[in-house]
Structure 1
Amino acid sequence: MNIDILQQQVDIIIASNNSKEEKLQAICDYLEKEISYYDWVGFYFKNGDKNELKLAQYTGEETEHTIIPFGKGICGQVAISNENFVVQDVSEQDNYISCGWKVKSEIVIPIFVNNENIGQIDIDSHTPNTFTNKDEQLLEYICKKVAEILH
C-alpha cells in the first residue's frame, strides 16, 4: 500500500467540484478498487439528535444495517468511545453485528468536526488479520479530509 499515492488521490477527490455526497461515494469506490482487501467501504453518520448512526455512501454488498444504535456492533461502539477500532477477527467479538458471512475483519475510524464525533468510515474485509498501522494512518487522514468538507 502506497499511502502517499492514495492520499493524493483522496485530495483530488476532495478538491473536486462534486457535491459532498459524490465526494464520499468517490472515496468509497476508490478505496474498494485500489486496496484488494477492502471488500466493503462505507460512511455512517450520526442520525440527527438520535443516539444512532445512519448509513450514507458505501460500496460493496448491500447491508441491512442502515441504522446502528450507539453501543451496538463495532460502529456503534466507536460512536461512544470516539476511538479507532480495529478487529482482526470478528468471530472473537461479542458485540459484533455481522454484515455477511464473508466478513472476517473490520476497521472503523471516527470523523470529528469541532471535536464532536459526527460519523465514521467503516471497512470490512473478507481476509482475517489484514489491517495494519498503515490502514489506520490512511483512514485517519481520509477522516480529517472528510471533516473539512462536512463542517
Structure 2
Amino acid sequence: MTFEELKPKVLDILHHDDKIRDEKLLQICRLLEENVDYYDWVGFYFRNGDKEELVLGPYIGEPTDHTVIPFGKGICGQVAVSNKNFVVPDVKAQDNYIACSLTVKSEIVVPMFVDGKNIGQIDIDSNVLDPFTDLDERFLEFVNEEVAKIF
C-alpha cells in the first residue's frame, strides 16, 4: 500500500471518537507495520512531563527494554534534543545507537509537535539496510501532524 493510500486510513483511525488515544496510536502502529514491508517495529515515545526523558507509548513489534530514554541518548534521545528528523541508514555506523534487537539494520525517528513544543516522536525500526527515503519522512511528518491534533 502506498503512503497516499495510507493517509486516509490514518485519518479514519484518528477521527473515531469511540476509542481512547492510546488505542488510536496502537492502531496506527499496526496499520503502518502491516502495510509498509520494511517497517518492522513502529512505536511512539513521549516526553515525560517536565523531565528530560522519553517514555515508550503504544507500539507494535518485538518487546523492548527501552521504555525510558534520556534526552540525548540513542537516536530517539537525540531527536528529543535536536527537534529534527533523524534517518539512520545503517545502525552499525552510529556511535550513539541503542540496540533494541540484533535484527534491526536501520531506523527513522520523526518528532511530533504541539504548539511548537516537541512532545514526542514516532520511531520506526527496519530489518532492511537503508530503506527510508524522503517519502517516508514526509509521510511520517503527516502522521505526526495528525496525531498531534488529538493531544
TM-score by length of 2: 0.98
Deviating beyond 3 angstroms after TM superposition, the runs of 4 or more aligned structure 1 residues are: none
The aligned residue for residue 127 of structure 2 is 126
Q: Deviations over 1:89-110 (max 9, x none)?
A: 0000000000010000000000
What secondary structure, in the 3-state scheme, does the structure 2 residue paired with 1:149 have?
coil
Q: Deviations over 1:6-55 (max 9, x none)?
A: 10100100111211111100000110000111000000000111100000
Q: Percent identity?
A: 57
CA distance in 2, matches of 1:25, 1:129: 25
Gaps of 5+ in 1: none
The aligned residue for residue 86 of structure 2 is 85
The aligned residue for residue 54 of structure 1 is 55
Q: Deviations over 1:44-67 (max 9, x none)?
A: 000111100000100000000000
The aligned residue for residue 45 of structure 2 is 44
CA distance in 2, matches of 1:82, 1:28: 21
Gaps of 5+ in 2: none
Q: Deviations over 1:81-124 (max 9, x none)?
A: 00000000000000000001000000000000000000000000
Residue-pair matches, total: 150
What secondary structure, in the 3-state scheme, does the structure 1 residue paired with 2:84 have?
coil
